[in-house]
Structure 1
Amino acid sequence: MDLRQRDKLNFVGFTQVEVRKMERLLTKYKDESLKDDFCKNVARALNRSTGRAGKPVAKWPEIQNWFSDNLEKVPNEISLQIKKKSPHRDRIVFVAEQQRDGELSVLEFEARSSKDGAWYDVDTFLSHRLVDSGQSEFLVRYVGFGAEGDEWVNSRNSLRKRSVALGLSDCHKVKIGDGVVCFRESDDHQAKYYDARVVGIETRWHDMRGCRCLFLIRYDHDGVEEKVRLRRLCV
């Protein structure tokens, strides 16, 4: 007797604001939105936003399923070739000028705060300027913070593409000497991400929870060493 295929259960935990954001992402990036790394970035941004506080965690496969289910609804658009207007108009400048509420630009970048040296997800590029050295600086607003947290950051050393959390079985990708981004809970119980380097690895058997290996990391900003699980590491 043939087994009847069960219908896939759609995740219904997205808020209306999140759905509107994902609709804009899907319209702009289409097939690109089905890639694992893309969905992981979206999941990380949604889960760290104030609108998801107190709600179940949005998992990246659920986001990927949503994109897949809605991809055919996206109308075809004529792609436009964007030309740079000056040598200083790099991709980040273009994103800052073209940003609209909810587009991928809020999901792509993280900035290092001069206040504590931690990396925070960028919610909005508010402005940009050229300093005397010829480098670009951007006024950013961080995810989960208001105008009081706005900060000018240097595009060369304090702004980069958002790091991605490692999967439960990605421990083989981490080597001694690798640079990583590590989650660290501050004294005020805030989640902060700092640059660190892997200085030791204790390989262990995996179980149903995934990787059980321990990674000895040394934080770049204060030299403190700590043993952490894979789930706290991003690359």
Structure 2
Amino acid sequence: MENILKEAGDKSLDQEFCQKIADSFSSSANRAGKAPLTWEQVRNWFRDKQKELIAGVTSSPAALQLCVDLSDAAISGIAPESVPSPKGDQVNDISELAFEARSFKDHAWYDVASFLTYRVLSTGELEARVRFAGYGKADDEWVNVKTELRERSIPLEPSECHRVQNSDLVLCFRDGLHQAIYYDAHIIEVERKPHDDNYCSCIFTVRYDHDAFEENVDIGRLCCRPTQEGHQQPPLLANGKQTESGDSLCITAQSLWG
């Protein structure tokens, strides 16, 4: 059945396909005298097995090369090297790059203190188990390397407000009822005011990506993405859209997991 699942893929949940499998098994000699299988039983077996495969950690020690796209477009790639998967809860500190990961619990971004292990889902997607800075083992999470992990955002200084432009993606500090955390947001308006390099009086209107809430914030609550850091002014196209950086930095699994 496992081989049939691998060969059939998504087709394994199709009613006609499941009926053929049910008929084939029901007519086999070792099921003589037993109630025939139904196509629903076959489909449920395939569905449960798919869930097990998705949730399970890959048993192959195949290596993974992670490419951190500084334009935030993706983190991807698999390299045919030989890298052993870490075992247990051994924690390896990141020495070369700093990362942040988005928690599935509240959609907020937290600094990553360390990577514990990784797994490859049956879909081919890579997930990493991370420990958040300032949190313990009970708060460890699996995060999708492509969509929930990225290079750490950079706090903005008062003298750097000119870098922030309309439609920019920023990481914004949000003071909630229970805790203060950071969320992705987009700049929708900037009210610029004259000031010196030590204090910024500009007002930035942001819209949070996860709930569309809008509020006015100061520069002290904003962090920029690494693609914006170092640019005196982000280049704009004729249509007003910000250009995307194609720079990328590739690191191997060894540098993340040792």
Question: Which of 97, 104, 127 is the matching residue for 2:95?
Answer: 104
Shift of 1:165: 0.6
What is the aligned partner in structure 2 of residue 119 from structure 1? 109
Q: Which residue of 2 aligns with 1:33?
A: none
- Equivalent in the alignment of 1:193: 182
Q: Which has the higher helix share?
A: 1
Partner residue, 1:58: none
CA distance in 2, matches of 1:101, 1:114: 23
Q: Could you tell me the percent identity over the aligned residues?
A: 44
Rg (Cα) greater in structure: 2
Question: What 5-or-longer segments of structure 2 have no aligned partner?
Answer: 1-60, 69-77, 225-258
Amino acid at match of 2:177: D
Paired position in structure 2 for 1:176:
166
Letter in 2 for 1:186: G
- The unaligned stretches of length 5 or more in structure 1 are 1-84
Structure 1 residue 90 and structure 2 residue 90: aligned? no
TM-score, structure 1 normalization: 0.57
Matches within 5 A, 1:63-82: none
* Residues 113 and 210 (structure 1), Cα distance of their counterparts in 2 relative to 1, 3 Å cut: same
| Partner Cα distance (1:173, 1:89) in 2 | 32
User: Which of 189, 204, 216 in structure 2 is aligned with 1:227?
Assistant: 216
The aligned residue for residue 204 of structure 1 is 193
- What is the alpha-carbon distance in structure 2 between the residues aligned to residue 100 and residue 114 of structure 1? 21
State the distance in 2 between where 1:208 and 1:166 align.
12
Higher relative contact order (CA closer than 8 Å, sequence separation 6+): 2
Q: 1:141 to 1:158 in 2, by over 3 A?
A: same
Root mean square deviation of aligned Cα: 2.6
Q: Is the 8 A contact 2:185 2:206 kept in 1?
A: yes
| Structure 2 residue identity aligned to 1:217 | V
Q: 1:213 aligns with which of 202, 206, 222?
A: 202
Given that 2:153 and 2:223 are in contact with CA atoms closer than 8 Å, whether structure 1 keeps it comes out as yes
